[in-house]
Amino acid sequence: MSESKSELQSQLKNIRAVLFDLDGTLIDSAPDLGAAADQLRVSRGLPSLPLDAYRHMAGAGARGMLKVGFDMTPEHPDFPAMREEFFTNYEACIHERTLQFDGVQQLIDALVARQTPWGVVTNKANRFTSLIVERMPVLFATAGAVVSGDTTPHAKPHPAPLLEAAKRINIDPAQCIYVGDDERDIIGGKAAGMLTVAAAYGYLGEGANPSHWGADFLIESPLDLLKLLNTD
């Protein structure tokens, strides 16, 4: 952390809104993402992998799932076609196994009770984000903004989607705090002038150590954010 604890605590008192990443932060979509990738393997005569094998790379979407399932990178000539097939599979099973993380609804209810605006900033394409929002109506009913990876010309770690979310909820970015489980969340949040929180309970990525991301705060569970904001 570049700032002292007292400086950060002072900034926390100025926070008026909370923005969240989606996958690995609010919802656990790894089982459905893994199932969509595993279907690619099975359809090609390859043995199925345990869904947990995909989990750590779930935050990287199609790129991460194809890396686990086929050791395929975006440079591979078959990657675009495989990605589209993965997308088709995922769209078909998008909410079969996806759940909120424990404590998320309690966290959101507490923010709403405090009249604290909140929203979502995800790199997930709107094609999929809209389906998740539609099929989890209780969770997202009070969201003031849902910004997807293709809502603005740039996705995270560019600050554009975060700034768009702040604009939609009509809160100064400096009065927002952003919570995410990937280093690009922290980079994007800082670039947007927001306080940042690393969600250490999320997917994190291969070999990642969230304590090295430079986040202002780190939480081990969704409800830790309530303690941080002193809203419980």
DSSP letters, 29-44, are -HHHHHHHHHHHHHHT
* Contact yes or no for 194/178 (Cβ under 8 A): yes
CATH 3.40.50.1000 for the 5-28+98-229 domain, yes or no = yes
pLDDT cut 90: percent of the chain above it: 90
Q: C-alpha angle with apex 123: 122 to 129, nearest 5 degrees?
A: 65
- The pLDDT score that the predictor gives to residue 3 is 65
Domain boundaries, the chain: 5-28+98-229, 30-93
Has residue 232 got a pLDDT over 50? no
What is the topology classification, in CATH, of domain 30-93?
DNA polymerase; domain 1 (1.10.150)
Instruction: Give the residue numbers marked as catalytic.
Output: 21, 23
Distance CA 220, CA 217 (A): 10
Q: What is the pLDDT of residues 205-220, one digit of tens each?
A: 777 899 999 999 999 9
Q: Comparing 11-15, 161-165, 178-182, 189-193, which segment has the lowest mean pLDDT?
A: 11-15
pLDDT cut 70: percent of the chain above it: 97
Q: What is the DSSP string of 78-130?
A: THHHHHHHHHHHHHHHTTSS-EEPTTHHHHHHHHHHTT--EEEE-SS-HHHHH
Q: What is the pLDDT of residues 42-101, one digit of tens each?
A: 999 999 999 999 999 998 999 999 999 999 999 999 999 999 999 999 999 999 999 999
What's the pTM value of the predicted model, to 2 decimals?
0.94
Q: Pick 144 or 7 by higher pLDDT.
A: 144
Has residue 231 got a pLDDT over 80? no
Q: How confident is the model at residue 14 (pLDDT cuts 50, 70, 90)?
A: very high
Q: How confident is the model at residue 159 (pLDDT cuts 50, 70, 90)?
A: very high
